[in-house]
Chain A
């Protein structure tokens, strides 16, 4: 358990409305990530953060913004939701387990978003 909580877990929203997904972690990890999962595409990185107020784009960042005002919270915002953003969204953190030489990515339970 990497101490990651995503909210909401399920949401249905209408096209054109703004949506914010929240990722909360309890273990002071510096790096946090947002991925989306779609059939036939696996997981694709949307945005990531390497510290408070430090964020960068991933491979599918168009239509999304992020914010990180506190270490423990990483917010993903869809400014104006579209049907193509119907997906499962996963938050992740990066951790260096004791005795390991490299980081490992751990995932939250996911947020199912449907845009109608």
Chain B
């Protein structure tokens, strides 16, 4: 079984400043890692994912994340945020074999301050 920890429930950031949303996972097996974004009153949209290969993964809207196996982390970053990035962000993990289900973190609400 896997678990995900998103320590920051809320992150306020000034517009055009950089941001990092933290995600740590726990698993006894190899994992795939995902970040989803949820805009107000909408469903979840896949932001980016790590499956294998390069540990630096680029996603939509200028976001990127780095897989760090030794620290069991998959932090999400953006060098300069915009008002439109205001949303809730969810980190998720799954195993790599068979019908592995997604396990989600509790989410981080990113608020951009003008």
Task: Please give the residue numbers on chain A whose beta carbons come within 8 Å of chain B beta carbons, in ascending order.
Answer: 31, 33, 40-45, 48, 50, 58, 90, 100-102, 104-110
Interface residue ranges, B against A (CB under 8 Å): 4, 6, 9, 32, 34, 36, 42-46, 49, 51-52, 90, 92, 96, 99, 101-102, 104-107
A102 & B99 in contact (Cβ 8 Å cutoff): no
Instruction: State the total of A-B contacts with C-beta under 8 angstroms.
Output: 48
A104 close to B43 (CB less than 8 A): no
Whose C-beta in chain B lies nearest to the C-beta of A9?
B41
A11 to B99, CA, bound (A): 32
With both beta carbons as reference points, the residue of chain A lying nearest to B42 in the complex is identified as: A109
Extra 14 A-B pairs, beta carbons < 8 Å, given A43-B90, A104-B34: A40-B9, A40-B106, A42-B4, A42-B6, A42-B104, A42-B105, A43-B44, A43-B92, A101-B51, A102-B32, A102-B51, A104-B46, A107-B44, A108-B43
